[in-house]
Chains A and B, each alone.
Chain A
Amino acid sequence: MRLLDCGDTALLVELADLDEVLALHAALLAAPPPGVVDLVPAARTLLLRTDPEAGADLDGVRRAVLAARPRPGARPDAGHVEVPVRYDGADLEEVGALTGLGARGVVEAHTAAEWTVAFCGFAPGFGYCVGGDDRLHVPRRRDPRTSVPAGSVALAGGFTGVYPRASPGGWQLLGRTDLPVWDLDRDPPALLAPGVRVRFVEVA
């Protein structure tokens, strides 16, 4: 673990891997360091942001991080979601070829695995789901699309996710869901929030 200052209001904790990030995130969610308003988990790091107007005590935050005792394997538990998917995505055949599984094999692997939302980013409600199936590790498209439709279910770099709204994107498209993963009238608005366990279910 490495602690890096990120200006005078935030601390970036660099960890060995995503499992360590999730375990530390779970530990700090249970006992948030004083003054911290945002915990931002990412693939290898956890950012702790304090309120700039409240006068940050980064030393106190640093001490709280060092004193945290994350349990290996611990993840914030935030419930379970089933995502119904029509597997008719534009890149399904290509992912089948890249992985050697064939299109059917990709669908079977994607639906058989249990995924966990590790963190959000890119857009509100875009959850990076991990832990699926190592065989589904594919690169991003060399040529990102300028517009990916809302509800697209996609794969890249060992992650899977659902585009909450139409946006540019470089992930490989497997299919689509009608499930709204981002809804401002819901609390919390993000269905795929960190810690949520996800299963993808094939529908006709």
Chain B
Amino acid sequence: MSGPATGGAPGGAPVLEVLEAGRGTTVQDLGRPGLAALGVGRSGAADRAALRLANRLVGNPEGHAGLEVTLGGLTLVATAAVTVAVAGAPCSVTVDGRAEPAYSCVRVPAGATVRLGTPSTGLRGYLAVRGGVDVAPVLGSRATDTLAGVGPPPVEAGTRLPVGRPRGPLPDVDLAPVSPPTGGDVRLRVLPGPRLDWCDPGAWAVLLATPWEVSADSDRVGLRLGGAELRRVRDGELPSEGTVPGALQLPPTGRPTLLLADHPVTGGYPVVGVVRSADVDRAAQARPGQRLRFVAG
């Protein structure tokens, strides 16, 4: 097939054409704060620090939109020369089969194929393109909120993503020294939640003593955790109340759910603990089967 899909207008803005989307790829920026009263959550990159880093590496403002890729498998072609960077879960990056480093500024010639492999640790990689992914914003953001159904649709094979106009110079640093997500237990600092008193007095100690395994049902909404059972001492329903990313909600099963970027704006399950905001990015990199350890503080 030929035509504008593969050629792009001469001198026109580049377009990223997705050949394979992998297991789960969405457009994400830093989300849409300030709309919770209308029932719209913030959403945005699950690992915000990783998206910010990828953007910095290509000289973008940190809030530009990029691609959040789950466990790799993304393949795309650029219709014109672009500069990209990948951060987050460390995966192989190839351009027409040639290996390029992650956490680095990578030049991609027109027509070249970029492929992200499966990361060795962590879950979510972030591909930033110089100029940013320039799909139409929805309510001021290009983030895909998978729960609310707001923002661009999830990326799939055939999706065409326009690239914005670059602004400002490329940074002098072209390789960022970062510590990639750990492959072992993930330690997260947690504070007592507003409804810890819905549990028996020993629940906090159980939360801290238990290794919690991330379940396969986890997604951008939250991590379902398996481990011990936190016993509730109060029955009945809590009237729904506002929630935050990092909240550990306790459904009647007694096994907490750790809320992530696309969490519901309000929830009716008691929140027994809240992960420190600075640690939520690391929680979002935990893979199904990996274990979380909560430490007080």
Contact = CB atoms under 8 A, between A and B. Distances in A.
A42 interface: yes
A195 B214 CA distance: 40
Contacts of A127: 39
A5 B191 contact: yes
Interface stretch (A45-53, A65-73, A98-106, A129-137): A45-53
A51 B34 CA distance: 10
Contacts of A12: 194, 241-242
A106 to B, nearest CB: 24
Interface in A84-129: 119-127
A46 B193 CA distance: 15
A138 interface: no
Contact of A8 (B37, B40, B277): B277
B271 A6 contact: yes
A45 B239 CA distance: 9
A44 B150 contact: no
Interface in A1-24: 4-10, 12, 14
Interface string B232-264: 000000011111101100000000000000001
A126 B241 CA distance: 15
Contact of A40 (B194, B239, B266, B274): B266
Contacts of B194: 4-6, 12, 14
A193 interface: yes
Contact of B139 (A5, A10, A41, A184): A184
B244 A7 contact: yes
Interface residues of B, number: 36
B276 interface: yes
A46 B36 CA distance: 11
Contact of A189 (B33, B48, B139, B277): B139
A49 B241 CA distance: 13
Given A188-B38, A190-B38, A42 B276 contact: no
A43 interface: yes
A40 B193 contact: no
B289 interface: no
B252 to A, nearest CB: 15
B149 interface: yes
6 contacts: A7-B274, A7-B277, A43-B240, A47-B36, A120-B265, A184-B150
